Amino acid sequence: MNRLTPLAAVLAATTALAGVVQAQELRMTIWSANEAHLAVFNEIADSFTADRPEVSVTFESLPFASYTTTLTTQIAGGNPPDLAWILERTAADFVNSGILAPLNEAFTSAEGFDYGDMIEKPTDLWRVDGELYAVPFSTSPLAIFANTDLIEAAGARTPAELIEAGEWTWENAMATAAKVAEGDKDGIIVRDFNYQTWQNLAAIWRGWGAEPWSADGDTCTFAAPEMVEAMTFLHDAIFQDGALPGPGESVDFFAGDAAMSITQISRASLLPKGDEAFAWDLVPLPAGPAGEYSVIGQAAIGVFQDSPNADLAVDFLAHMTNPDNSAKLAQFFPPIRQSLLNAETLGATNPLLTPEMIEAVVVQGIAKGEVLPVHEGYSEIQQLVRAELDALWQPEANVEEVLGAVCQSIQPLL
């Protein structure tokens, strides 16, 4: 019978212990390579691993344009990340697919998470039968940045003046934009639209109560009267009034080249400083014929339940989105926590915004906003709609006919 020497016994015991405490590597895909974003993410990760020396967290930055395609390719290839950012437009595909880990039980029992602090309405998109499958860490209302220097120089009414007069409507906003566009600058830009990302036009058409499909997702409503009226208004603003840059024109509001831009508050970091700076304002979207409204974009984080580190990944997600860390993320990503949705908290991390801007645009926008259009199979639907809408971006287009063709094209997918 072989006997271990005392030293060998110690080594054997150490080896056995080392085998129990194995390194665990968490990988999370994101679509930002912004150094400031990564600094906050890594700070949060470091606080999670501080008492877990066997754990490491890596953030994998993927290009935004191909983000979802790359992520789904990883999943199909059997190499999914442990956690991933998910765009609101693909929420239905991910949440209904069964590949995300449920979160309710872990989050309600996580120390310091405060599950009830999350506002319920902005989480609706990420739930099935009450179960939460991803945490919306960024819920950002679409709003309008305005270059008041350009507007005043053109002799037009500023958004602030229109708001004070109770006349902040799309009709008056486009009139201001068209007035500025009479000179050598442009009117209003729908950022990231570029006559391709049509869903961003929801920031306009929802003022008419228009939607691309019915609430249950079964019926195309692009050809409904509300959408026809909204898109006719938009078409006239582009091709008759010159209030928006036309197809193929590249205009940058933040370079001082346009009167207004529809975008999210995180873009405030692009505002020029020094000699290039201009006077600006941030205001809610104008009212349309259907009244006042708010549109929000969202990004959530989910855990893939087939990950060998799924339980650990859920723990990290709870840590990343707890009140303290949500406050850190709030400088870039508006949270859905009631305790953080106030001018004092958000103002501390967004010093460029006044308390009035934060209350009117962020707090009220999140409280009453509806998410951008979503549907299962969104990627295919999005491509078909974009292809059909190409015919709309011509001066002599028949708006009603084009929108009818959109419905004929996508109805089989609905």
Decide if 350 contacts 265 (C-beta within 8 A): yes
153 and 267 together in one domain = yes
pLDDT by residue (tens digit) across 39-48?
A: 999 999 999 9
Q: Quick check: is 252 in a domain?
A: yes
How far is residue 1's CA from residue 230's CA, in Å, rounded to a whole number?
A: 88
Question: Is there a domain that residue 192 lies in?
Answer: yes
What pTM value is reported for the model? 0.82
Tell me what percent of the residues of the chain surpass a pLDDT of 90: 65
**Residues 255 and 400 placed together within one structural domain of the fold:** yes
CATH of the domain at 106: 3.40.190.10
Bridge partners (DSSP) listed for residue 260: 146, 188
Is 10 part of any domain? no
| Weakest-pLDDT range from 58-62, 211-215, 258-262, 366-370 | 366-370
Angle subtended at Cα 298 by Cα 69 and Cα 94, rounded to the nearest 5 degrees: 45
pLDDT value, residue 21: 57
| Residue 76 placed within a domain | yes
CA angle 235, 198, 352 (to 5 degrees): 100
The answer to whether residue 2 sits within a structural domain is no
Q: Using the 8-state DSSP alphabet, how is residue 322 labeled?
A: S
Q: Is residue 239 scored above 90 in pLDDT?
A: yes
What is the token pair recorded at 115? Answer: 């599950």
118: Cα separation from own chain's centroid: 17
C-alpha to C-alpha distance for 147 and 203, rounded to whole angstroms: 19
Tokens of 104: 């309710």
- Residue 242: predicted pLDDT: 95
Residues 135, 91 share a domain: yes
Q: What is the pLDDT of residue 10?
A: 41
Asked whether residue 48 falls in the same domain as residue 162, the answer is: no
Say yes or no to pLDDT of 13 above 50: no
Q: What's the N-to-C CA distance of the chain in angstroms?
A: 73
Mark whether 106 and 148 lie in a shared domain.
no
- In angstroms, the CA 82 to CA 303 distance is 6
Question: Averaged over 186-214, what is the pLDDT?
Answer: 93
Distance between CA atoms of residues 188 and 223, nearest Å: 25
Tokens of 227: 């959408």
- So what's the pLDDT on residue 362? 86
Taking the C-alpha atoms of residue 392 and residue 399, their distance in angstroms, rounded to an integer, is: 6
3-state secondary structure of 190: strand
pLDDT of residue 20: 54
Structure tokens at 400: 């009603």
Whether residue 264 sits in one domain with residue 196:
yes
Q: Number of structural domains, the chain?
A: 2
Residue 237 has pLDDT above 80, yes or no: yes
Could you report the per-residue pLDDT of 157-194, keeping only the tens digit for each?
A: 999 999 999 999 999 999 999 999 999 999 999 988 98
- Looking at the structure, tell me whether residues 278 and 301 fall in a common domain: no
User: How many other C-beta atoms lie within 10 A of the C-beta of residue 195?
Assistant: 19
User: Is residue 5 a part of any domain in this protein?
Assistant: no
Query: What is the per-residue pLDDT for 7?
Result: 38
Question: CA nearest 308: which of 85, 23, 36?
Answer: 23
Range of the domain at 94: 22-140+297-371
Q: How far apart are CA 223 and CA 114, in angstroms?
A: 44
Percent of the chain with pLDDT over 70: 95
Mean pLDDT of 194-205: 92
Tell whether the model's pLDDT for residue 321 goes beyond 90.
yes
Give yes or no: residues 314 and 181 share one domain.
no
Distance of CA 409 to the CA centre of its chain: 27
**φ and ψ of 225, to 5 deg:** -55, -40
Q: Are residues 377 and 245 in the same domain?
A: yes
Dihedral in degrees, nearest 10, Cα atoms 85, 90, 95, 96: -160
Residue 106, pLDDT score = 95
- Determine the pLDDT at residue 337: 92
In this prediction, residues 334-339 reach a mean pLDDT of: 89
pLDDT per position as a tens digit, 271-317: 888 888 999 999 999 999 999 999 988 899 999 998 999 999 999 99
User: Which amino acid is residue 363, in one-letter code?
Assistant: V
Q: Which of 17-21, 63-67, 139-143, 181-185 has the lowest average pLDDT?
A: 17-21
Residue length of the chain: 414
Q: Is residue 30 part of a domain?
A: yes
**SS3 state at 73:** helix
Cα separation, 88 vs 199, whole angstroms: 11
On whether both 195 and 241 belong to a single domain, the answer is: yes
Do 74 and 190 fall within a single domain? no
* 380: Cβ contacts below 8 Å, ≥ 6 apart: 413
Res 353 pLDDT > 90: no
Q: Are residues 147 and 60 in the same domain?
A: no
Whether 13 is covered by a domain: the verdict is: no
Q: Residue 228: what pLDDT?
A: 97
Are 266 and 152 contacting, i.e. CB atoms less than 8 angstroms apart?
Answer: no
Q: So what's the pLDDT on residue 15?
A: 41
Average model confidence (pLDDT) across the chain: 90
- Ramachandran angles phi, psi of 264, nearest 5°: -110, 160
Evaluate the CA torsion angle 244, 250, 253, 257 in order and state its sign. negative
What pLDDT sits at residue 202? Answer: 94
